Structure 1
Amino acid sequence: MTSQYETALHVGERLRSFRLGKGLLPEDVASGTGLSRAAIYRYEAGQPIRVDALGKIADFLEISVASLFGVGSEFISTAAGFYERVRQLEGMADQISVLFGPISYLLTTEGFDALLPDILMESVPELAVNRQNLGSQIDEIIELLLARKAGYLSRRPNIISLVSAAELEQVLRLGFVGRHGINGAELKRRRAAALAEVENILRLLTDQPMGVQIGLVEDSLPGASFQILRTGSAAQVAVSPFRLGLYANIRVGVATITAAQDSVKLHQEVTAQLWQNSLKGNEAADRVRSILANSADEIRA
């Protein structure tokens, strides 16, 4: 169980994730609260926050003080805020269990990172409000995602990734696109990128790098993705409506992060059931080879 002292230490991390989620700089928070910029930097670095300052920050960010303390569940309405919070939690985790379709981001290649800005931009409708300002938001999201991946690669916590066979088939057929209507040479490029990621999953299944376990699920998966992040005996669940890759979503939805025992237990049970029934090792590799064989000729045509 997380102590009250540890909870207080992590207030600064939550402050940073809420600030980033609103697209604000530390200077903006300082100006809006009457606090000094240096104080905001100190608070985000983990130094104690005065009670009066805590209330001013919560009011300015339009969140509750309880949310800053992580009491109960954390609700995050922006992709940037969610990815920053997950980055923080992954930086402490010993084990990460991921159910994320079609492919867990932490296990993707550099080629996927290079394509991701295009996917995210085209996922936003032309008539969306403030679309003209979206470039900087996407840049921030990409920066956070790359920081997550760098943190994972430097620490190498154990990762259990559940992958849907049906979604692999779908992404090979459609390619990594953010919307309908991608055609011609561009569609061919997107399908080639999808092929490269599925081939990478096959490599992971055959090479079996230490700390990486992949289960190929033939059953249907829940609509929302989630991660269970375990640090020692404590665990938290991050449930996300945000999606990367095929028909990405970085704009609409509310993510939830909670350490509530009933939520953690239920998600662990779902994960255990899916893992038990999934294909693993050589059996999973053979299934991915069959998926690739059914799609590769069409993609390369």
Structure 2
Amino acid sequence: MAQSNKVDFVEVGARLRAHRMGRALSPDDLARRLGISRAALYRAEKGEIAKIEMLTAIADELHVSLPSLLGVGIEYVDNATSFFERMRQTEEGCDQIIGLFSPISYLVTTDGYDVALAEALEEAGDPVQAGEVTRILDILRQRKAQFARRRPLLVSIISDADIARFLSEGLVSRVDLDPAVVERRRRMALREARHISRMLREPDIGVQLGVACEPFPATSFEIVRRGGEAVLAVSPFRLGHNPNIRVGAGLITSAPEALELHRDITRRLWTSALKGHEAAAHVDTLIDRHGIS
């Protein structure tokens, strides 16, 4: 996770797998394109890479730079499937997650949120990309189950403006939806906002929430810590209002400068954020003002 002069080939194998999934290639498909056996590709994805030539060929086939596969500098990810799989990988075995996502970290949303998100992602796409939605939803559910099982410390900072918009419009992906669909999504948003209010009043062990009332960054990001190491994931992909899994370039890095800049953002927002019963009361006010009757 952290920068080092030594290449961690297990991490390289994990990146390889994520980028393969992002290209919608099965292990057999990629092995056939490379002219190697399925077993050889399996070993590569486990980090058993004997020759740099093989890694170069894999990088070319997946349209990803060799430095990105090696984890040198900044790893750029051009599709949501690969990005969320990389997030799942970095969260696996971690000690702490600090996130800024709208309307809240997906990891603590309800099962009802999953249902509405699936509908919103499907209605925003086209039939050709339906398989991509299925793959992304599967990865997201794995992330949530992984978090529930291990329970690392989670610090989630949320924006009151995002909650207000979420309540007013619901989890929708288009402006031309049937009014009955919009009403159903707004009722889901209401249930989710009440869930947030309950978590603020009676927080789960290891979950810390803060409600920011000042301007919020336009880009979501997450800092994941494991031992003395940390990794930053900056996401252009949205799982909240007007979800986006189509366009964007995410980045993942352990560069000290990038980590420190984003730690400064979280420290500032956390210091001024409302917490506990005060935050819950503010969310309740937003519910009264913007929630569907």
TM-score range, shorter chain: over 0.9
- Does structure 2 conserve the Cα–Cα contact (< 8 Å) formed by 1:228 and 1:238? yes
In structure 1, list runs of 5 or more residues that go unmatched: 125-130
Q: Distance in 2 between matches of 1:67 and 1:184?
A: 45
For 2:141, the equivalent position in structure 1 comes to 146
Q: Distance in 1 between matches of 2:77 and 2:259?
A: 18
Q: Percent identity?
A: 42
Query: Higher mean Cα deviation, 136-145 or 56-65?
Result: 56-65
**What aligned pairs does 1:6-155 form with structure 2 within 5 A after superposition?**
7-124=8-125, 131-155=126-150
Mapped contact 1:9–1:48 kept (Cα < 8 A):
no
Give the structure 1 partner of residue 232 of structure 2: 237
- Aligned pair count reads 292
Contact 2:167 2:186 (8 Å CA) reproduced: yes
CA distance in 1 between partners of 2:111 and 2:7 (Å): 35
Cα distance in 2 for partners of 1:274, 1:245 equals: 20
Question: Which ranges of structure 2 fall in alignment gaps of 5 or more residues?
Answer: none
Query: Partners of 1:250 and 1:183 in 2: how far apart?
Result: 22
Query: Aligned to 2:8, what secondary structure does the other structure show?
Result: helix
2:164 equivalent among 141, 166, 169: 169
Separation of aligned partners in 2, 1:2 and 1:164? 31
Displaced runs of 4+ in structure 1, greater than 4 A?
A: 1-6
Q: TM-score if structure 1 supplies the norm length?
A: 0.94
Residues 109-143 of structure 1: CA deviation (Å, up to 9, x unaligned): 0001112121012223xxxxxx2211111000000
- For 1:216, the equivalent position in structure 2 comes to 211
Contact (CA 8 Å) 1:119, 1:245: kept in 2 or not? Answer: no
Instruction: Give the Cα separation in 2 of the matches to 1:15 and 1:197.
Output: 35
For structure 1, which segment, 253-262 or 29-38, has the greater mean C-alpha deviation from structure 2 after superposition?
29-38
Instruction: Quote the RMSD (CA, aligned, Å).
Output: 1.3
Corresponding residue number in structure 1 for 2:187: 192
TM-score if structure 2 supplies the norm length?
A: 0.96
Letter in 1 for 2:19: F
Which residue pairs with 1:282 in the alignment? 277
Q: What amino acid is aligned across from residue 146 of structure 1 in structure 2?
A: R
After superposition, the C-alpha distances for 1:80-117 in whole angstroms (9 at most, x for unaligned) are: 00000000000022100000112211110000111212
Matched-pair contact (CA < 8 Å) for 2:118–2:137: yes
Question: Which letter does structure 2 place at the counterpart of 1:63?
Answer: V
